[in-house]
Amino acid sequence: MPVIPINTPSATYNVTIAPNLLPTLHPRLRKLNPGKPFRPFIITSPNIWALWSKPFLASFKEPPTVLFHPAGERHKRMASVESLAQQLSTAGADRDALLLAFGGGVIGDITGFLAAIYMRGIRYVQIPTTLLAQVDSSIGGKTGVNLATGKNLIGSFHHPQAVFADTDLLRTLPPAELRAGLQESIKAGVIYDAKLFRYMEQNAEAILSASDPTKRNADTKALAKVVAASVRVKAEVVSQDEKESGLRMILNFGHTIGHAIEAATNYKQLLHGEAVAWGSIAALSVAVARNTISEKDANRIVNLILRYGPLPAFKATAEKLVALTSRDKKNRSGIRSFVLPTAIGKVEIVHNVTEPELLAATNAMLTLMHLR
């Protein structure tokens, strides 16, 4: 059972990765809060609760209060935060409340933000149910919600007490959700861990068997290895740069154009990992044009991204996507920050990517999309 520590200046906690964690939750929560009273409140979506409520509640003598929030990026808005905060207040939640984020990235982000601002800050625990959330969004303390003009433009850094990644939860993921999560693992390999990248190249069939409904009983050791390696990348980066002042920005590879794609399609057409995959292909076009990466390595990365597809097509012009990148939260003084690979396992952060470069790269990405 991998237990991976996150050590930052403001918080230290563990990411526990194992099957069958849900039935052991309450003792684990007590261990996190020795001698401290806590009253758990679960924030989840109706579909997740319908699938997993029984094992979740197995270790609780008294059932916690459950608050429901719709799944989907379009519901990650300030109105949702206010609604959940009002429900917490009505249910009598005080500073001893402990929020349990039980869902994918949207549930985790909105619960963390709610915990950051409710009564000026209360405790919470991440219990991610999607692969993307287990390997990325549940770790590092980034919380927030979207505006109509861009993604995660309102938020706060607020770390959980712990992350419990129960790999059994991945068994009920739709294949597209699992594959979208694997795109974040590819990103981890591209930016930091060439060994993980090679493993995903050499073991694609075994890893993807977990996303095949006809092979749900297949050996999931390969997938579990990818989850643990991806978490270690996130842990190492976040531990060195808690609040994205430098190194942590490398985690945004593919996200500048990816977030623009999500905004352009009203968060309805693509999963986050799918949008990031297209954004990564666009970023690679910039890197190849600048000769920061060889065409051979760039082609390896593109081929692996497509191997873990299929990636859905979408409707948007290059001009619209580039315009939307001007609202990216990583921008400083109107200057776009961009993550470009220099080799598999290495990237650089640049601040001088021009609009013509972005237009050319985005057009190349859209051309590839239409050819497939």
The answer to whether residue 142 is catalytic is: yes
What is the model's pLDDT at position 333? 43
Q: Point out the catalytic residue in the list 73, 159, 179, 184.
A: 184
What is the model's pLDDT at position 343? 97
Q: Point out the catalytic residue in the list 272, 274, 330, 336.
A: 272
The answer to whether residue 177 is catalytic is: no
Listed residue (122, 135, 160, 143) closest to 32, CA to CA = 160
Domains of the chain, residue spans: 3-172, 175-371
Are the beta carbons of 67 and 87 closer than 8 angstroms? Answer: yes
Q: Point out the catalytic residue in the list 73, 177, 242, 244.
A: 244
CATH 1.10.10.10 is held by the domain 175-371: no
Q: How far apart are CA 174 and CA 161, in angstroms?
A: 29
Tell me, yes or no, if the pTM score tops 0.85.
yes
Strand order in the sheet with 163-166: 3-7, 12-18, 163-166, 123-128, 97-103, 39-44, 65-68
pLDDT tens sequence across 129-185: 999 999 999 999 999 999 887 788 899 999 999 999 999 999 889 999 999 999 999
**pLDDT block averages, 10 residues each, the chain of length 372:** 90 94 96 93 97 97 95 90 97 97 96 97 97 94 89 92 94 91 97 97 91 62 92 92 81 93 91 96 97 96 97 96 77 69 95 93 96 82
Q: Point out the catalytic residue in the list 73, 151, 252, 274.
A: 252
What is the model's pLDDT at position 71? 81
**Main-chain dihedrals φ then ψ at residue 75, nearest 5 degrees:** -95, 5
Are the beta carbons of 343 and 282 closer than 8 angstroms? Answer: no
Distances in Å between the Cα of 235 and the Cα atoms of 162, 216, 273, 312 are 13, 29, 19, 30
Task: Specify the residue for token string 């981890």.
Answer: 188
Q: How far apart are CA 195 and CA 257, in angstroms?
A: 26
User: Which residue type is seen at 67?
Assistant: L
Taking residue 95's Cβ as centre, other Cβ atoms within 10 Å add up to 11
pLDDT tens sequence across 184-220: 999 999 999 999 999 999 999 999 987 666 665 556 7
The answer to whether residue 300 is catalytic is: no
Given the candidates 3.40.50.1970, 3.40.630.30, 3.40.50.300, 3.10.20.30, the CATH classification of the domain at 3-172 is 3.40.50.1970
The answer to whether residue 20 is catalytic is: no
What is the model's pLDDT at position 334? 53
Q: How far apart are CA 157 and CA 143, in angstroms?
A: 6
